[in-house]
Structure 1
């Protein structure tokens, strides 16, 4: 900007000086016109960016979470869960290019409910503290680092608390967390709880059929890489369990097994949501002991497609169907003979 833009015009004089002033004024007018054109162009670009951002917000998938929990035949409910369709209130600031962050998580405890409850209370707060903010470049890489740091921090904090008790707590927990950043899903998983996505795709005959996409990878000591890590750390695998006792090879807590190669480093996966996606199922192994992932997806779809639906005040027909599907899926797992705790989170993906 010209430092003298705000000064008054020089006093008009006669002769050659006046001509010089006129030429100066014409030059200044031309500069002002160029500046005006540049400002209009910048305003137009800014308006276009705002429109694009507004369009992006309008087109973000609408996520709604539903949960069903069953104790099964266990004496104690050791599962825990968290549903935060919008976790903005937990975040100090969103990255400049991000409009929304959602968080859904299932924790399946063993040896007690303290590790799963601790993870449910603290993991998303640790995530919020470490989440990238400002105009972050390479956001994808930063989110992945944030998730790794969050799991490590949560595990360390719980182990510190557990070891300070008398007697020391021996609880442990799986963790399956789905973080949706605008339309990108990030899944961080420890242990044998799982997350799956239902995507509808048109077949050759034109009929839309469901495709079940695995969003997580299970960790148990029978998997070659997991067993090798445990054995290198001096542990053993007997009857498919660490030291013949622990069913999972990665977890939060389980302090007595950490020296045997059990770790809290999650498997990370990423998947972009599309207009063809219907829902996400997160559930502990209590569901998947009696349902395959594909069976669970088809079970939910059948209920969503039922003709009659009981109306409930304050809920849309779609919401009533998803709520019923979630509850019935958990109940059916118990009916099929699952003695374990069963927790199911169903996340609808709408437009």
Structure 2
């Protein structure tokens, strides 16, 4: 995707969507569901000092840490030239870290955590985001392994485009980032890789015991410009990515009458393929939702997999 202009769009209405996948309990993900948007809306330059203070309490080697997205802001504040408005990256980073700080002050913060994969969409001219002629800007901010995907209606038939990367030990940059803070990795009895024998996500809200190893809620933020050929965005938890490829996820959505039907169908297919993890799917229709160019590219493959699963179930049932 093209990198969008980083100006804050104060004139436009912003559409916000997000998926939160909790672990160790539901309190953390429930909190983010209602509080993260509020933190994003209410973030101000004045939050910088408390956010930095919280991050710098993670441990010894965090004493001088400043998230990359906040370096410019911190320098401006130190020169007594604090800007009157925040860029989108500054706003999102402050909001995610402030929300995580609020999680720390709850009675359930021990041993609980959550991912967050969020998308902000706006049209700089103020057009509705589903209008054919809108030139959408999108910022995707993510922490953990929930995932955002885009489908465009083009000559390819609609290839899946990943808008975020999963923060888990298999990502080299993430693994190296945690190792710099002294983290070790091991596999659990299911063969899933974990940091500090505890967490499957290398970034998360909550999980305070492993913050000092780099399991932070600092979001990875990416910018995209979406033209009229954008068909839809899907955000899913790892209960879906564990059993479906990106292309399969996008293909299941194609041909569905509404986003709500598509989201239900995604969860249904993942369940049939044996996923027993938290399953959340969010589908957002964009201007080219009804485009005739969209083709189900993995139908045969998916059908074979579903048939194989059904066959195993029948065999088990007859034993």
- For normalisation by structure 2, the TM-score amounts to 0.67
* Cα distance in structure 2, aligned partners of 1:229 and 1:292: 26
| Residue of structure 2 equivalent to 1:237 | 185
| Residue of structure 1 equivalent to 2:242 | 289
* Cα distance in structure 2, aligned partners of 1:259 and 1:292: 33
SS at structure 1 position matched to 2:270: helix
- Is 1:171 matched with 2:112? yes
Unaligned runs of 5+ in 1: 1-93, 204-208, 305-319
* Cα distance in structure 1, aligned partners of 2:167 and 2:282: 20
Q: CA RMSD in A?
A: 2.2
Kindly state the Cα deviation for residue 138 of structure 1 after the two structures are TM-superposed.
12
| Residue of structure 2 equivalent to 1:103 | 16
| Residue of structure 1 equivalent to 2:287 | 350
SS at structure 1 position matched to 2:28: helix
* Cα distance in structure 2, aligned partners of 1:294 and 1:341: 20
Kindly state the Cα deviation for residue 212 of structure 1 after the two structures are TM-superposed.
1.6
* Cα distance in structure 1, aligned partners of 2:268 and 2:139: 28
Instruction: State the 4+ residue runs in structure 1 displaced beyond 3 angstroms.
Output: none
* Cα distance in structure 2, aligned partners of 1:223 and 1:324: 32
The 8 Å contact of residues 131 and 143 in structure 1, kept in 2 or not, is answered as no
- Is 1:326 matched with 2:263? yes
Kindly state the Cα deviation for residue 252 of structure 1 after the two structures are TM-superposed.
0.4
* Cα distance in structure 1, aligned partners of 2:105 and 2:258: 43
Kindly state the Cα deviation for residue 325 of structure 1 after the two structures are TM-superposed.
1.9
* Cα distance in structure 2, aligned partners of 1:281 and 1:131: 30
| Residue of structure 1 equivalent to 2:103 | 158
* Cα distance in structure 2, aligned partners of 1:334 and 1:202: 31
* Cα distance in structure 2, aligned partners of 1:274 and 1:104: 19
After superposition, what is the alpha-carbon deviation per residue over 1:101-131, rounded to whole angstroms, capped at 9, x for unaligned? 0000000000111111111111100100127
| Residue of structure 2 equivalent to 1:113 | 26
Kindly state the Cα deviation for residue 95 of structure 1 after the two structures are TM-superposed.
4.8
SS at structure 1 position matched to 2:87: helix
* Cα distance in structure 1, aligned partners of 2:253 and 2:179: 40
After superposition, what is the alpha-carbon deviation per residue over 1:160-201, rounded to whole angstroms, capped at 9, x for unaligned? 224xx6xx6321000000011221110000111000000011
* Cα distance in structure 2, aligned partners of 1:299 and 1:250: 29
- Is 1:262 matched with 2:224? no
| Residue of structure 2 equivalent to 1:148 | 93
Alpha carbons of structure 1 residues 151 and 222: separation in structure 2 relative to 1, 3 Å: same
The 8 Å contact of residues 176 and 194 in structure 1, kept in 2 or not, is answered as yes
SS at structure 2 position matched to 1:116: helix
| Residue of structure 2 equivalent to 1:181 | 122
Alpha carbons of structure 1 residues 255 and 241: separation in structure 2 relative to 1, 3 Å: same
* Cα distance in structure 1, aligned partners of 2:232 and 2:84: 28
SS at structure 2 position matched to 1:295: helix
- Is 1:210 matched with 2:210? no
User: 186, 199, 208: which is aligned to 2:152?
Assistant: 199
Alpha carbons of structure 1 residues 116 and 191: separation in structure 2 relative to 1, 3 Å: same
* Cα distance in structure 2, aligned partners of 1:269 and 1:173: 20
The 8 Å contact of residues 103 and 178 in structure 1, kept in 2 or not, is answered as yes
SS at structure 2 position matched to 1:118: helix
